[in-house]
Structure 1
Amino acid sequence: MEIIMTEMLWAVVLLVVGFVLLIKGADFFVEGSSSVAKMLKVPSIIIGLTIVAMGTSLPECAVSITASVTNNNALAVSNAIGSNIFNLMVVCGFCALFNPLYVEKSTLKKEFPFSVVCAVLLLVCGYLGMQLGRADGIILLIVFVAFLVWMVRSALKARAAAGDDEYEVLPVWKCIVFIVGGIVAIKFGGDFVVNGASTVAAKLGLSQNLIGLTIVACGTSLPELVTSVVAARKNELDMALGNVIGSNIFNILFVLGIAATISPIAFIMENVIDIVILVVMSVLVWAFAWTKKKLDRFEGIVMLALYAVYLVYICMR
C-alpha cells in the first residue's frame, strides 16, 4: 500500500511539473517567435493568427505526439478532443463573464464554420474503420497546410489595417534562448504529463480516455485559458475568440494529423460520441455568436453549465 501511495504521489508531482513546463515553455516559445517574426517584418496580424494560436496549442501537441510515440494512443485522441471542448465551452464561457465577446462577420462566415467542418472531418475519418490511420493523418495535415495558406493570404489582405507595434522586440540572443528553452520545456513537459497521467490512470483503475478528457485536457488548455482571459480583460476580444478557434483547428488538423501519421490511433465508441458532442457544442456556440454577433454573460454561464454537465457524463459512463 505504501509503495502504491508513493508511486501515486510521484505521478501527481510529474503531472504538476509537466503542466508548469508546458505552460511556461509555450509562453517563452510564443514570445521568442513573435520577436523573430517582428524582426523579419512579418505582419503582426499573421503573428497573432499563427504563432499565438499554435503556441498556446503546443502543450496539446507535445502530449498527443508523445502519447502516440509511446503507443498511448487513447490519451492522444482524448486529449485533443477534450482540449477542444474545454477551449470552446470553458475558455470562451469564462471570457464572456468578463466582457461580451463581439464576433466579426468574417469570423462567423469563415474561421468558425471551418472549425466545425474540421470536427466533422475528424468524426468521418475516425468512424470509418474505427481508427485514425496514417492516410487520415496525411489528409488532416494537407487540409492544415491549405488552411495556413488561406489564413496567410487573408492576413496579407488585411495588412494595411494591422498595427505594427503589437509585440515587443527582444534581443536576438534572448529570442534564441526563449525559443530553444521553450521547445525543451514543452518536450519534457509532454513526457512528464503523459507518464504521470498514465500512472494515475493505472493506479486508480481509470481509463486513459477519461484521464485525457479531464485532467490532461484541462491542464494542456491552460495557455489558451490564460491568453484568452488576459485578452478579454484588455478588451482585445477578437484575439480571445480567435485564439480559441485557431487552437481548435490546430489541435484537430495538425496535432492529431501528426499523431496519426506517426502511429495509427484506434477509435472506441466513446471517442465518436465525444466528437459528436464537440460538433454539437461548436454549432451551439456558433449559433449563440451569430444571433447577436457576440457572446454575452448569460451565454457564457450556459456554456460553463453545459461543460459541467459534460464532465459529470464522462465521469459516470
Structure 2
Amino acid sequence: MAYVLLIIGFGLLIKGADLLVNGSSNIARLLRIPPIIIGLTIVALGTSSPEATISIIAAIEGSADVSLGNIIGSNILNLTLVVGIAAFIYPLKVESETIRKEIPFTLLASVVLLIFINDIALQGSTENFITRSDGLIFLLLLSVFMYYVIEVAVKSRGDISTGEAPIGIKWGKNIFITIIGLAGILLGGEMVVSNGTVIAYSLGMSETLVGLTIIAVGTSLPEVVTSVTAALKKESEIALGNIVGSCIFNILFVLGATSVITPLAVNKEMGFDVIVMILLTGLLLIFSRTNYKIKKSEGITLIGVYVIYLVYIIIRN
C-alpha cells in the first residue's frame, strides 16, 4: 500500500506543481515581467515548492537526513540532469547577467551552506548543525537576491516594450489554479515523505540515500518537466532561469525556512555532496561562458556526470 500511496503522492506533487507554475506564470505575464524574471522567480519558486514541502515536513518529523539530502540531491540533479536534458534538446542561451550575477549567487549560497554544515571542523563542536541563526542568514541572503531580481524586473519594464496584457488570460482563473496547485503540492509532499520513509526502512536503505535519490528525483520532476517543455518551445531563458532560480530557492528559502522552524542535524557524509554541488555550479558557470550558450555536447557531459554521481552514492550507502 505504501508504494501505491507514494506514486499517488508523486502524482499530486507533479500535477500540483504544473498547475502552480501555469497559474503563477500567467499572473507574471499579466504583470508583463520578462521571461528570465519569470524563470528565476515565479516558475523557480513554483517548481521548488515540492522540495520546500517535503523538507519542512521531514524536518518536523525528525528526518533531517531526508530534508537536507532532498535539497542537495535536487540541486545536483538540477545542475546536471535537468540542464543536460534541456541543453541536449535545444542549446540554452545564457544572458550575460546570468553569468555575472545569478550563477555566482548560486555558488555563494552553496559555499555558505558548506560553511554552515562544518561546525565540527570550524568551531570544534561535537555535532554539525544548521541552526536557527544559520537559517535566518539564508533568509537574509534570499531577501538580497529578491531585491536584485525586483530591481532587474523594474528596469526591464522601463527598457523594453512588453505590449498589452495577453488576451484570454484572466486574473481570477489563474489565482484559483495557483491555489489548487499549492494544495496538491502540500498533500503530495506529506504522502511522499511518510510513504518514502516507510519503503526506505523496509528495503534497509539509509535516510540519506533516500533523500539524495528517490525523493530528490521525485521532487525535481517539476523542474525537469518545466525546463524540458521550455527547451522544446525554445524558451531557453525560462529553462535556465528555472534551474538557477530553483537552486537558489532550495538553499536560501527551503533550508532557511526549515532550519528556522527546527535546527537540522547534518550527516558527515553530506559535506562531500555539498562540495560536489559547488563544483557542478562552477562547471555550469564555465559552460555558460562558452559563447553565452550551453551546447548539446555540454549537456551530454552533464548527464554523464549525474550518472557517475548516482552510481557513487548508491555504492557509498
**Is TM > 0.5 for Structure 1 vs Structure 2?**
yes
Amino acid at match of 2:96: K
- Contact (CA 8 Å) 2:39, 2:240: kept in 1 or not? no
> CA offsets per residue over residues 219-275 of structure 1, 9 Å max, x none?
111111111111111111111111100000000000011111111111112111100
Q: Give 2:68's aligned amino acid.
A: V
1:134 aligned to which of 125, 132, 135: 132
Pick aligned residue for 2:33 from 43, 49, 65: 43
Equivalent pair of 1:90/1:304 in contact (CA under 8 Å): yes
Q: Which residue of 1 aligns with 2:73?
A: 82
Is residue 184 of structure 1 aligned with residue 186 of structure 2? no
- Percent same amino acid at aligned positions? 43
Cα deviation for residue 161 of structure 1 reads: 2.4
Match of 2:247 in 1: 248
- Distance, in Å, in 2 between the alignment partners of 1:167 and 1:24 is 24
Give ranges in structure 2 of 5+ residues lacking alignment.
121-127
Residues 259-270 of structure 1: pairs in structure 2 closer than 5 A: 259-270=258-269
Secondary structure of the residue that 1:121 maps to in structure 2?
helix
* 1:310–1:166 distance in 2 versus 1, CA, 3 Å: farther
Contact preservation (8 Å) 1:65, 1:259: yes
Deviation by residue 1:90-132 (Cα, 9 ceiling, x = unmatched): 0100111111112122111110111011111111011125111
Give the letter for the 1:210 counterpart: L
The one-letter amino acid of 2:152's match is S
Selected match of 2:12 from 3, 21, 40: 21
Distance 2:166 2:277 in 1: 33
Aligned to 2:96: 105
Give the Cα separation in 1 of the matches to 2:28 and 2:235: 21
Q: TM-score, normalised by structure 1?
A: 0.92
Query: Match of 1:6?
Result: none
* Distance across 2 between alignment mates of 1:173 and 1:193: 30
> Do structure 1's residue 68 and structure 2's residue 59 form an aligned pair?
yes
Q: CA deviation at 1:178?
A: 1.4
Tell me the distance in 2 between the aligned counterparts of 1:168 and 1:220: 33
1:30 aligns with 2:28: no
Letter in 1 for 2:311: V
| Counterparts of 2:163 and 2:15, CA distance in 1 | 26
Q: What does 1:223-302 align with in structure 2 at a 5 Å threshold? A: 223-302=222-301
- 2:112 counterpart of 1:121: yes
Amino acid at match of 1:197: G
1:58 to 49, 61, 65: 49
In structure 1, the partner of 2:151 is 153
CA drift of 1:66 comes to 0.9
For the 8 Å contact 1:18–1:190, the answer to whether it is kept is: yes
Cα distance in 1, alignment partners of residues 81 and 109 from structure 2: 20
Unmatched 5+ stretches in structure 1? 1-9
- SS for the counterpart of 1:112 is helix
Deviation of 1:63 (Å) = 0.7
Alignment check: 8 A CA contact 2:24 2:43 kept:
no
Q: Within 2, Cα distance between the matches of 1:138 and 1:240?
A: 29
Shift of 1:21: 0.7
* Contact residue 71 and residue 216 of structure 2 kept, 8 A: yes
Change in 2 beyond 3 A, CA 1:101/1:276: same
CA RMSD in angstroms comes to 1.8
Paired positions, count: 307
Q: What SS does the corresponding residue of 2:205 show, helix, strand or coil?
A: coil
Most deviating of 29-38 and 45-54: 29-38
Distance 2:216 2:66 in 1: 10
Letter paired with 1:150: Y
Question: Which residue of structure 2 aligns with residue 3 of structure 1?
Answer: none
